[in-house]
Amino acid sequence: MSGHGTFDIRELSDSDVPAVVRVISDVRKEYGLERRVGTLIEPSDRNLISTYQRQRSKYFVALDGTRVVGGAGIAPLGDDHSRICELQRMYLHSEYRRCGIGRRLLGRCVEAAKSFGYYQCYAETVREMKEARAFYRAHSFRPLTGPMGDTGHRHNDCWVLLELK
């Protein structure tokens, strides 16, 4: 981890995609998700640029110097006219957690969501990702009893919602 503790958050660029995919894969392996899913990396993970060029979508990366250490994005939940966005692919390498980077990534996503006119922000995770669940609770996401919409992620078993004000 960087000794000076300064991190940048910026929008995703083409050159970031391989590093973001590595972060996603590493974190999913860390939590043993290869036992839950057919493949650790989905086509939409590899196609981040086209996924987040959609209307009312954006992805941010966290950098320690020039090293991509995490990322998070938002996209409409359901159709492009939805008033609910989905927080997607929010992952940080373990050594960069509890440094405020996740809070900053979420802040950028929430800021973008509000600018796009979303009223709520939905997220999904899995039981094993205890840190993620605690993070969502600490940032005012409320638990839901089931999924919203059809994200296609049947392996997720924890669903949360944030009211955007």
Q: Where are the domains of the chain?
A: 8-163
pTM of the model: 0.90
Specify burial of residue 114 (Cβ count, 10 A radius: 0-12, 13-18, 19+): middle
- What per-residue confidence (pLDDT) applies to 2? 44
Helix or strand holding residue 133 (H, E) = helix 130-138
List, for the chain, all residue ranges whose pLDDT scores fall below the cut of 70: 1-5, 35-41, 43, 80, 150-154
- What per-residue confidence (pLDDT) applies to 140? 97
C-alpha to C-alpha distance for 115 and 109, rounded to whole angstroms: 10
Tokens of 20: 């973001």
DSSP secondary structure string for all residues of 46-90? HTHHHHTTSTT-EEEEEEETTEEEEEEEEEESSSTT-SEEEEEEE
CA angle 78, 161, 146 (to 5 degrees): 75
CA angle 144, 56, 150 (to 5 degrees): 40
Report the 10 Å Cβ neighbour count for 31.
17
Range 8-163: architecture per CATH: 3-Layer(aba) Sandwich (3.40)
- What per-residue confidence (pLDDT) applies to 56? 94
